Amino acid sequence: MTATVIACISIAGAGLLLIIISIPFFIREKALKKKCSAQTIGHVIKYKRCGGDNNRYYTPVAEFEAEGKTYKAYRHFKSFSKVKVTNSLSDQNFAELVVTSKERLHMQIREGQGGVIHSLVAEKWPIGSEVPIFYNPAKPKQSFVEKVVTVSNVVGIVLLSCGGGLMLLAGIAYFVF
């Protein structure tokens, strides 16, 4: 075997390994959605600060009862983005919060309106408001506000894509060299 063939096999092997590693991430999301089959109503009691200094957002925390005990759950998102719009808009107090169909929290605010983020979340989910809670009947601490959301499939997609890319690269290198 030549060095080129060995290199191509090694690269393809690394790609295959990444693809195999990605499989549990897809299985975990489906299993979690299946386990969190019980539903109840919770009440928003406060807001949890999430993210870093430059990418800070708030999410509602709700309290609910299951099997005679009180639990807390918070709203999960797959990602968060904040867009600062320019002053060319006519509305000086422009601010908008959107939860997309893919469970991404998106905010648009004007420059200098950083403090409005908490109030946008409080407006969408006021203290005391009712929210649906999904939880695992066997482990009620495993709970979600509004929907079961995990980021594990994002990690799985990245690993799967990198693995496929490495295998493709190895195949191209094999035929070119």
CA distances from 56 to 76, 137, 165 (A): 14, 32, 33
Give the DSSP H or E segment for 46.
Answer: strand 38-50
Q: Decide if 85 contacts 108 (C-beta within 8 A).
A: yes
Tokens found for residue 67? 């099997």
Region at 173 (left for phi over 0; alpha for psi -120 to 50; beta for the rest):
alpha
In whole angstroms, give the CA distance from residue 124 to residue 6: 57
Cβ-count burial of 40 within 10 angstroms (0-12 exposed, 13-18 middle, 19+ buried)?
middle
Q: Decide if 44 contacts 113 (C-beta within 8 A).
A: no
Q: What are the residue ranges spanned by the domains of the chain? A: 1-35+150-177
Number of H helices, E strands in the chain: 3, 8
Q: From first to last of its 177 residues, what are the pLDDT tens digits of the chain?
A: 899 899 999 999 999 999 999 999 888 878 888 999 999 999 999 999 887 766 678 889 999 999 899 999 998 887 777 776 665 555 555 677 888 877 878 777 766 655 677 788 888 899 999 999 999 999 999 999 988 887 677 788 899 999 999 999 999 998 888
In whole angstroms, give the CA distance from residue 122 to residue 57: 12
pLDDT of residue 76: 84
